[in-house]
Structure 1
Amino acid sequence: MKTIKINFILTMILSLAIVSCNNDDDGGGGTPPEQGLDGLITADLTLDPSVTYNLSGDVRVAEGVTLTIPAGTEIVSAVGTGNYLAVLQGGMIDIQGTPTNPVVMRSSSGTAGSWGGLLLCGNAPTTAGEDVTAEVGGLVYGGASASDDSGNINYLIIRDAGAQINADSQYNGLSLYAVGSGTSISNVAIINGADDGVEFFGGTVSASNIYLENNEDDAVDWTEGWNGTLSNTYVVNTIQGFSTAIEADGTASNPTIENFTAISSTGGLAVQMKAASTATINGFTATGFDILFEFAGTSTAAELVIDGAAANTADDAVYASSPTNASDFAWATDNIVGSALPANITSDLTLDPSIEYTISGPVLVNSGATLTIPAGTVIVSDSGTANYLAVLQGGSIDIQGTAGNPVEMRSVDGNPWGGLLVCGNASTTAGTNVTAEVGGLVYGGNNDTESSGSIDYLILRNTGAQINADSQFNGLSLYAVGSGTSISNVAVISGADDGIEFFGGTVSVTNFYAENIEDDAIDWTEGWNGTMDTAYIVNTIQGFSTAIEADGTASNPTLNNLTAISSTGGLAIQMKAASTATINGFSATGFDLLFEFAGTSTPAELVIDGAAADTADDAVYDTSPTNSSNFAWATEGLTSEALPANITTDTTLDPSVEYTISGPVLVNSGATLTIPAGTDIISESGTANYLAVLQGGSIDIQGTMANPVEMRSVDGNPWGGLLICGNSTTTAGENVTAEVGGLVYGGSNPTESSGNIDYLILRNTGAQINADSQFNGLSLYAVGSGTTIDNVAVIDGADDGIEFFGGTVSVTNFYAENIEDDSVDWTEGWNGTLANSFVKQDIVGFSTSIEADGTASNPTLTNFTAISTEGGLAIQMKAASTATINGLTLTGYALQFEFAGTSTAAELVIDGVAANEGTTYNTSTTVEADFPWIDN
């Protein structure tokens, strides 16, 4: 039976239900009016594009009836397997969309698989027979008319289809049951489907210009002897677990596929041939798939002819002959859904900085299109390897950040995402039109001066998602990018792989900042030969790889003014495979190893300041003037209550906020950190956590007796405390490196000022780096006499309370309680004054109340009181250090003095005479009651 017979009365009732539905509009020109669409359509019906149609149930176009859907019409389906639009045998559909006004069919929920999509049932041949019943909806299809006409479809978008009836039966986006060659189908986009995008069940229909995005089963599927043509198809999959781009099944009817492009960012299978089905493909491009072909059952590669030859099943086979590009489908993809960036940007698009945009899946800026991102725009990506922003060959990006309003891209949850990738046409030793290790992206050409756009003031956070052990995303990946591209002021922060990586190309970068990058902060390969001017790298995390990794051909890029700082040791520069480089201006501090030359590389291939790299253990490089203050635009500001890693402009804390330290906090040259009375700072414990004032920086702690400032660890375990690095004199020299944090100190200005400290309590300090290096409570590195330090208490410290490394600074009113090493320690020629000190020891096994070491610089201590309830040693003089103490009280110690090495009692003058173990010392006027503010 070729027609569906229905009771006349029921037919009329259903027909009237359609034509007499609510036609009210909203009367105000706002939200479009809505109208129901359901039941059997038994008379020709033309929809109104100004109305949104709500599809409910199985809407069927009966035999002899035409449903006309004008351009711009939207049909919204209810959710469930019983909701679909079907054209029955002998019925017709006329979808009249245009590029600017496509017809849209979608579900009300926006969820993949939430409705049944569009089904056409024709009278063309199918190997299943005639008048057979479809697996869905009980629909009848199949006949003997190869030229059967079911109508016309042009510029149609179908979303969210593919509802599942059961394990064996599912709807598709567009289901074509024995549809004949008289039917015209072109410009169809099927997006976000839970089953196949388009499936041909026999028939002779042809289709052209088909776009298929993120369909969970097969993008294109045929069976039952379909033998039409499919022209100009583009498939993109950014989801995990899809089945194929093409599944071919059934009789060997040999349909023809012209210009088929398929891209996957998640691997998977491209083409599956089943049951000896055959096909001819002319023009085929497939990138990003784990497997190109699978021949199931009796199928063989000979049954799939591509560009005149049997499919090439070699592991390294490459297919890139289809010219079909996502830009052909701008009409379907160039729209932003809410704040979500579209998967394919195929024409110029400018974002709105007042909107926070989201990335879910790859966002591809296609050839001929420019994505413009104004200053202040924020883009938040889903985490994971499927989420990134890529500029394809011929595409362009224009990031217009400013110092006051940078553009920021980050992940939604702090976990790694794919970052920003730019693919150019410049030269690379990998070749021309090669495939990237990530995303199946194509790059490389012979235009070294090509431009992929402009990037200025961009912050990238949380990048570096890992695809597998050998392939990872970076913060900024530059694939064969040409010198016409402008890149300046880029910061990559907290990256799980490289910060910036150059894959060949000729592009140059100015002002690059990298912070806590787990692999290489800067990496290049494949013959990059551009320039990097002014770069600053800081690592406060354990286990990073390098500041620079250089690999590949000896293309000799130039780096001007590179500063790299590590507080956790590690390797600064690794040269591999005889790569070469020239560095003009290089400073590196805190690394265990400056250089590693792997394979055939030698120091001669790395020229620094005009000479081969110096691999001596005591080599020092400090010629770069680059400071983190160059990157205040990227590093300033508090994240919630967390102190920033780099303070590069004047910053005043809020005493009503409890601040946290996670990693080093560095107050840089030219910046002052002001900490008002009553402020609390809580640090994570461990050696990577401390507050340091660098040379030229300043601190102003404004505590009061009633409201001291307090710094402590979060769990009572040791942290790194407060360190100040000055430019005063030290016997260690000038610009020397501290034993902790790779900090630089020492100069020739004994009167310099590093700021002010008043009423400060330090608790739980003294984290141990190794057997020879520990943090203290307050570490004063070559601090000058212009610095004022009054009313400081260090309590429960695992190393020294206060230690002076040279310098001329003086301290008044110092309190130390239960310090495990030395309460007061000096070395390297400190010659300031310590007045009014009280040391209290109630723990077993401490070292001393005073340890004096180094050159005989003779500092003066006035009114020093030390009390022990556990015996121990009071004062140790080492290496002929000298001191004068006016007013000393020592109580409870087993031994008052120890003179180590060449030291003698004559070098410690107490109240005008040499120290004497037999003397009782009780002349200090300082008592514990002088420090009541400690308990406030």
Structure 2
Amino acid sequence: MKKMRNSSYLKLFAVLFSLGAFTISCSSDDDNPVGGGGGNGGDTGEITVSGIIQENTTWTKDNVYILDGKVAVDGGATLTIEPGTVIKGAEGVETQASALIVDRDATLIANGTPSEPIIFTSVLDDITPGNVVSPNLTVNDRGLWGGVIILGNAPASLEGDVTEELIEGIPPNSGFGLYGGNDPSDSSGSIQYVSIRHGGANIGEGNEINGFTTGGVGSGTTINHIEVIANLDDGIEFFGGTHNASNIVLWGMGDDSVDLDQAYSGTITNVAVIQTNVSDHGLEIDGPEGSSNGEFNLSNVTIFSDDSPSNANSGNREYAQFRSNAMGTVSNVLLVGGTDGVDFTLQDDPNVVANYNSGILSFSNIEVVPPAGVTNLNDVFVDSSGLTSFTDDATGPNGFADAITNTSEASTGADTSVFGWTWVNETGAFGTGSDNQAAEVEVTGTITGNETWTSNNIYILNGKVVVDNNATLNIEAGTVIKGAEGVETQASALIIDRGATLNANGSAEAPIIFTSVLDEIQPGELVSPNLGVDDRGLWGGVIVLGNAPASLEGDVVEELIEGIPPNSGFGLYGGTDPNDSSGSIEYISIRHGGANIGEGNEINGFTTGGVGSGTLINNIEVIANLDDGVEFFGGTHDASNIVLWGMGDDSVDLDQAYSGTVTNVAVVLTNVSDHGLEIDGPEGSSNGEFTLNNVTIFSDNSASNANSGNREYAQFRSNAMGAVNNVLLVGGTTGVDFTLADDANVAANYNSGILTFSNIEVVLPAGASTLADVFADSSGQTTFTADANNFATTINSADNASTGADLTAFAWSWISQAAGF
């Protein structure tokens, strides 16, 4: 496995550029014309594109293309986009909103693949080529750029029977944007395996750009495998045209998900819609506006509504509305859950009434998992006019709709297995339908007997949940535990008290996840659908205590662990049994913790205090903790395969003569992070030496602000004693260093060989030219800086590293999914 390390670093490096660990700026060497804009980018291939593309052009996956304003492919030109290419829209609203427009008579060939989809997203998205999941944006990030608009010469039924019209979302006098004509077989190209995210920029009062828009697009155009996520306006909207479309998945729109207008007369097959709190209709269907008619065909559709509590920003989250002369066929539909009042409606429109009564608008084979409060499907299928038999036709004997208990009973709807390539699938959003929620079990107080938490439930920690002395808590692989909100004495946490046992043995396929109650993740999912690495301090953390020795101030034997208020009745650690066991903790992901319990006092992500060598601690991930990632107070236990991303303080903190061995550690710092390693020694007269092997620390070089951390590699202080071996240090901003603090005991320990370092490789941070700029002795009482020339070497990139962590061990983790290593 070691021989794979370099390829893993290459993948990780691509993401660390996006995380701000380093910056690249150079020029494009693309020979293809890209319109009116120039380029910046280079090795990573960031190319800015603006204006009109008038010649055949190819965009390649080794570049990231930045849309600066509205980029139009002119009539007669072809834009070809390679599989795996990432395109990002610049920020801007109104006339400055960015979008890609394929004008009439132009051609777009954007054929991604399941393994290399083409991604359209915002310039604020840190995603890089080769990844599917954004490392920093979620389904709640909308309106950050425009969208993709395809125009053609096929008929659209327009008001006043005009032949052409300016597409929605394009300002007048733009010089492009007309659609419509008289060629139903017209081709605008081929668009397959394309993901469009975070769009819908506002271009005027109540006027936003859809995620994926077609206008007058003909049947010669191929449109398959389209994903739209988090658009502020509609997900897809088809204005007239005759093209077909299949395998469409839409998640988290700010308006409607599927919108058909102006006698669109193609066939749409296999559509999955996942609504969130702000969404409006799953389907909003209008008919012709002129005298020419056309009927759509919509089949194999699943709509997951949303039943989260309503607020001032909530959408109606309804299944469907048919209005304004809608005509067509809807068949094989599954409707799932939702809040009270969710319905599937014929609008009070005389043309809709006439079309339904004459069979021009028809429905068949619909199954419903009823929304909240609904006991009769008459409350779902609503005829606003009262002039049709629509409701009776749906719910009466031999009606076209049937109620089912949950989606496992469904015999119709979309085939969601075809969406394995999507971010929706990677995030597990198909599990968010209201009948797919795991049961929630609230846990409070003290667990005094043996207890097992199972993977079919979500456990809510309400306050500090303590496993008492002699009790055992078993947690099944794949279980999700969520901490309730609260600060100070109300902060939630799981505490394993001295003499108690935690057996939390996840697996690579089914890790155990500790997160916040604000996280919408469900069992079976790895990536949060709504929280990111910048969401910290939302709950407490996990604390494991034992009877092993810790070197405490005043030579006391026991002490109250950091993060627990005095007089809690639990939380003591320390003792005289170095072989003590607190259980087994493997394949655990701990996220979004570090709640503040007092001035400057937060809970670490994963804390041990006096934990003995009989305890197994392997494969631990901590993400986005407000305080430290892992902190070990004394104890003798070992730990291996630890990955930490985006701490608000230090990543690894060792204290009070912790004397175990920590092996294979990867640290990814972000702008707010402090030290990768903060190492302290004994506080009492008893000593103990740690061993730290195979460590990689990626620093961060994003621009500093009032909230930035120091983002330094390491600091050894307060009598630190132990051995640090096989370390890779990568990049960072000016001033990042690896330091011996100004402490007489640290100096003495280094000079006497009690604190040692070996085999360190460094990709120098910004502003550093030699090892002396990195390895600092604050006391000036050692030869540490000069010795660095013996125990450390500089390298040009992590690709050349021969030491550090084996990143392949973290394939199971969220950071692997989000950051790609």
- Which has more strand, going by share of residues? 1
> Which TM-score applies when normalising by structure 1?
0.38
Report which of the two structures shows the higher radius of gyration computed on alpha carbons. Answer: 1
> Which TM-score applies when normalising by structure 2?
0.43
- Which has more helix, going by share of residues? 2
